Structure 1
Amino acid sequence: MSVRDRILQRLRERADGALSAPESDFSVVTGRGWDAEERLMRFERWIASVHGEVIHASRADWTEHLARVLRDKGVRRLALGRAHPVPAEARGALADGEVELVDADRDIATWRRELFDRVEAGLTSTGGGIAETGSLWLWPTADEPRQLSLVPPIHIAVLDAEAIEDTLFDVMERHDWAAGMPTNALMISGPSKTADIEQTLAYGVHGPRELIVLVRHP
């Protein structure tokens, strides 16, 4: 019997019974009671406080807002997925435009240099938002890899207004992360930022310098 097995056996044979998890009080991380309007207001206020830009659109015209953003920012090469409804709809709307659509559902080794040197913006869907912290949460897939939100100078994220939750705990509970915790969930609160020893904050040093959130309303 190994040392590990002996330790586990002693734990199982405890004289005072089996170990049990302590009771946990989660009331401090949930139960905010905000309505949809309050959640949206808080989300927008907090993400704007760290240089995130929020643009409101309807589901019917959000791609028109996307095209305007790309034009205003001078984006000529946009990386995006294919299968998810968000990039699929964007591809349809931008197919005849001047923006080159760069496929993201490839082995990164085959397009790493293109991603770092030529792509000016990345478009992603989002799992939802968090009102308490002004954060987006993304669950990357092979269709929408994490590089889309971490590498290009501009990250454009599409968020449905009704997908904003009060707190991170509420997100985890609603989507049952305990039954299937994502291996690589991303929490995004504004463009990339860092600070030196003097606490001088700089944006865009090691990632997107701009975060634009397209909030879609029914």
Structure 2
Amino acid sequence: MKKFFLVCFSLIVITTLSACQTNKYNNVIKDKAPDPSISIEDLGNSNKERPNIFYFDTEQGRSLFDVIFWDELKEDHYYQGQIKNNDVKIDTVFKGNKIEVGPLPKSYELAMTFSQKEPFPSNILGKVKDDKGHTYNWKQSYEREDADHDYLINLPKFKGKKAKVALRMIWLNKNGDCIGVADKFFILEKQ
């Protein structure tokens, strides 16, 4: 009987400690807007053991990340700006910033991922400006099939060879109020 109580007590202590650590980690992660991982995979690559994937990493100078509004996801402080259209001025953002250009294969999958402990945005407002001066806008909700699948970005076809991409992530609370806005920027070149 003592062993039973000892096992139960141990499980309770472990569960309590885990819950405290998880809450502490979640509170820390919510203090700043999460910078998503963006990758592009060449689906035409015949080598299945080593897929050809390019990561648009901010730290390696392959993308830019800009937080427009983030207030620790407080439910009583909302963003008052435009959240229906991506109004970012792409040329201004990239002016003076050197970014490694990523490949855009003929057959590809462009994906975005967040850590499981980070809050996912509600919507993505996309904008593409190609080197011929054409601009394309789109909106998509952030819905994943499950935890094992990345979120796919529905990049529109563009006419030029190169394109600057701006993805505006919008976090909404359950009432539809905007509690966070952040932008991810990168450049693609058709292969």
TM-score higher than 0.5: no
Q: TM-score, normalised by structure 1?
A: 0.27
Q: TM-score, normalised by structure 2?
A: 0.29
**Structure with more strand by fraction:** 2
**Structure with more helix by fraction:** 1
